[in-house]
Chains A and B, each alone.
Chain A
Amino acid sequence: MLIFTLRRLNLFIFTIFLLTLLSFSLSFLFPGDQLINISGQVNATPKQLIVLAEQYQTNNNIFQQYFAYISHLFHGDLGISMASQLSISTEIMSFLPATIELTLVALFIAMLFGIPIGFIAAINHRKATDNIILSISMIGYSIPVFWLGLLAILIFSIQLGWLPSAGQLSLLFEIEHVTGIQFIDILLSDSPYKWQAFQDASAHIFLPACVIALAPATIFVRLARTAMMDVLDSQYIRAAKAKGLSFKQIIYHHAIRNAMVHVIRDVGLQFANLVTIAMVTEVIFSWPGIGRWLIESIFQRDHTSIQGGLLVLSSFIFIVHIVIDFIYAALNPLARESRHGT
């Protein structure tokens, strides 16, 4: 297990290294001066520019420049935004938690519905249930998310008026910004209307999270269905049947666990997809997340923000990846050991 952890850590360090290399090279590839791209100081006086050049060691060779950039990163300095002239790291810290919250809730919803439905489809293989589930998941997968988001707002917010259409929380509630993750902040706050705020936040997150969750959920349905069918076809299930276990026992004790092993592995891969969908959805639902911020930066040609946002967002995806790998290892004893020759 220790070796497994060290390997993941190793992978993490190398991936982050490559990401920094990418974002560093972006400052050269973007149009404009490299120093301004990397620092974001658009209105710097020539004097300040000299100081900056000293800081980023632009006059030295490329390796020293890179190490200067890395040391800036380690000090939490991603430069300042070209558009707003605010520190990018503080901007990211204020926007990222909202995205973390939204994507994790969406992932949870997608898994909660997608995986069991896939299992049900596999158990009823070649029956009407299976076909219905498959065709619905196909339809769900092919709906474009921006259209679905608008449709959801139109139906549930405007026509029916059940759920709010934009934002993270109603302006009526005053919640102190501690962690940035709304639900935790609400629970931490000592406002007398804590539970009302909690309900309001739940109502706000429900619609965007569902919109994000739909496409990944349909993928999970298919993954879970294939995994379960493979497992049900396997030798140990036949052996378990011969042991005289009932169908329920076989499903609950053997099949689900083994099928989950296969599904969990792919959940990590789908997470990147989910974050992409979340970025679009954040724009539609005016969710104060990093996706919307990043898209706005792209429109404003804010090169420094794009570099920083890219770095942080991909690190987040990668961390989730690693966490899911650990869950996979917890479920699958085979993965925990270092295998030789592979």
Chain B
Amino acid sequence: MNLLDIRNLSIVLKSATNPILAVDRVSLTMKEGEVRGLVGESGSGKSLLAQAIIGVLDDKWQVDADRFHWRGKDLMRLSIDERKAIISKDVAMIFQEPMACLDPTMTIGKQLTEAVDGEQLSGYFWQKNRQRKETAMTLLHKVGIKQHKICLKKYPHQLNDALCQRVMIAMALAKRPILLIADEPTTAMESTNQGQIFRLLASLNQLKNMSILLISHDLENVTHWTNTITVMYSGQFVEAGTTKHIFEQPFHPYTRALVDSSPKSNRGLPAKSRLMALPGSIPILQHLPIGCRLGPRCPRAQQECVIAPKVTNYHGHQFSCHFSLKDSY
């Protein structure tokens, strides 16, 4: 059974004159215990998708989906409050810029104890406060912070980014989530700290069988840690499959370009020659091309591309392109 099954999720930026379709019918499935990467350029709508899943988008955005199943339960049929209760119980999210995500006027200890779920505690109310503190301590140990006493008394600005992100992960773990959505958890971090955070996430995945949806703009970086990858471009679904397939045999021209543009594949290039990259940049929301949004930048684009291609499934490897690279391998 799939943990999360989303089919054709669209997110519209509401506006009186012309509503903008920021995310256009994207599908996403996740199995239990899986680490899935969600990759795309900045502005490709991947953060929006994550925020729509967890339900923290404000009312400027309108979210529609053909199917939204969570562990076999159809969330579309439930009321907003019920949906929120289920999602906030089982799904946790960590964000980019962890320091900005912690309340600057409250100590780490207070914020962490606040995140502890009251239902997990046993005992009378006068015991609960101590239990909460103990839980907060063990949570910090779990994310590899040994000096819990010092850390609990600190304010967010007194810690560095990696520690803040660890605290964010500790908060996320407080609810014992089944799925953790990590929205670019290591941007603006040094590479040693990046490695620490990724290793921590990987160990949580292995030890606690926690599924992780890892959002990133860096395809190469993500490949070390993920089982499967979904690629998005400008709010549209591009390709999904196992990490190996995506990296070695991409079917979609966009994924091909992403893989080719990584420094690793450019290593054999002679000095002072042009690096492989797609021309142009991602379109802004106000001027989206019709049909396949990659069209204007795509090296294989033809007339049919003005009609958005349907998702094709080839041995579990999904892609949406009229002129895929499938036959070229």
Residues of A at under 8 Å CB distance from B? 234-236, 238-245, 249, 253-254, 257-258, 261, 331-334
Given the known interface contacts A243-B171, A333-B105, the answer about A235 and B97 at a Cβ–Cβ threshold of 8 Å is yes
A235→B100 contact, CB < 8 A: yes
Interface string of B50-66 (1 = CB under 8 A from A): 01001010000000000
Residues of B at under 8 Å CB distance from A? 51, 54, 56, 84, 88-89, 92-93, 95, 97, 100-106, 114-115, 155, 157, 168, 171, 175
B103→A242 contact, CB < 8 A: no
B157→A239 contact, CB < 8 A: no
A250 to B89 CA separation, bound complex (whole angstroms): 17
B93→A236 contact, CB < 8 A: no
Residue of A nearest to B50 (CB): A242
B106→A257 contact, CB < 8 A: yes
User: Given A236, A244, A261, which contacts B101 in the complex, CB threshold below 8 Å?
Assistant: A236
User: Given A234, A238, A245, which contacts B114 in the complex, CB threshold below 8 Å?
Assistant: A245
SS class of chain A's interface: helix, strand, loop or mixed? helix
Residue of A nearest to B59 (CB): A126
Give every chain A residue within 8 A of B157 (Cβ-Cβ): 333-334
Give every chain A residue within 8 A of B175 (Cβ-Cβ): 243-244
The interface centre, meaning the residue of A235, A241, A242 with most chain B CB atoms within 10 A of its CB, is A242
A239 to B98 CA separation, bound complex (whole angstroms): 9
Q: How far is the CB of B299 from chain A (nearest CB, A)?
A: 38
Q: How far is the CB of B251 from chain A (nearest CB, A)?
A: 34
A257 to B89 CA separation, bound complex (whole angstroms): 26
Q: How far is the CB of A56 from chain B (nearest CB, A)?
A: 51
User: Given B56, B100, B155, which contacts A242 in the complex, CB threshold below 8 Å?
Assistant: B56
Give every chain B residue within 8 A of A331 (Cβ-Cβ): 105
A334 to B106 CA separation, bound complex (whole angstroms): 11
Residue of A nearest to B100 (CB): A235
28 A-B contact pairs sorted by A residue (CB < 8 Å):
A235-B97, A235-B100, A236-B100, A236-B104, A238-B56, A239-B95, A239-B101, A239-B102, A240-B103, A241-B56, A242-B54, A242-B88, A242-B93, A242-B95, A243-B115, A244-B84, A244-B175, A249-B114, A253-B114, A254-B106, A257-B105, A257-B106, A258-B105, A261-B105, A332-B104, A333-B157, A334-B104, A334-B157
Q: Which 3 A-B pairs have the closest CB atoms?
A: A244-B88, A239-B101, A235-B100
A244 to B83 CA separation, bound complex (whole angstroms): 12
Give every chain A residue within 8 A of B51 (Cβ-Cβ): 238
A194 to B123 CA separation, bound complex (whole angstroms): 51
Q: How far is the CB of A327 from chain B (nearest CB, A)?
A: 13
Q: How far is the CB of A230 from chain B (nearest CB, A)?
A: 13
Give every chain A residue within 8 A of B56 (Cβ-Cβ): 238, 241-242
A293 to B303 CA separation, bound complex (whole angstroms): 86
Give every chain A residue within 8 A of B155 (Cβ-Cβ): 333-334
Q: How far is the CB of B36 from chain A (nearest CB, A)?
A: 19
Give every chain A residue within 8 A of B106 (Cβ-Cβ): 253-254, 257
The interface centre, meaning the residue of B88, B103, B171 with most chain A CB atoms within 10 A of its CB, is B103
A238 to B56 CA separation, bound complex (whole angstroms): 7
User: Given A236, A241, A244, which contacts B103 in the complex, CB threshold below 8 Å?
Assistant: A236
A253 to B105 CA separation, bound complex (whole angstroms): 10
A254→B95 contact, CB < 8 A: no
A334 to B104 CA separation, bound complex (whole angstroms): 8
A254 to B97 CA separation, bound complex (whole angstroms): 18
Give every chain B residue within 8 A of A334 (Cβ-Cβ): 104, 155, 157
Given the known interface contacts A243-B171, A244-B175, A334-B157, the answer about A258 and B104 at a Cβ–Cβ threshold of 8 Å is yes
A257 to B104 CA separation, bound complex (whole angstroms): 10
A241 to B51 CA separation, bound complex (whole angstroms): 11
Give every chain B residue within 8 A of A253 (Cβ-Cβ): 106, 114
User: Given B89, B92, B101, B105, which contacts A235 in the complex, CB threshold below 8 Å?
Assistant: B101
Give every chain B residue within 8 A of A239 (Cβ-Cβ): 93, 95, 101-102, 168
A253 to B101 CA separation, bound complex (whole angstroms): 15
A303 to B249 CA separation, bound complex (whole angstroms): 91
Q: How far is the CB of B133 from chain A (nearest CB, A)?
A: 17
B89→A244 contact, CB < 8 A: yes
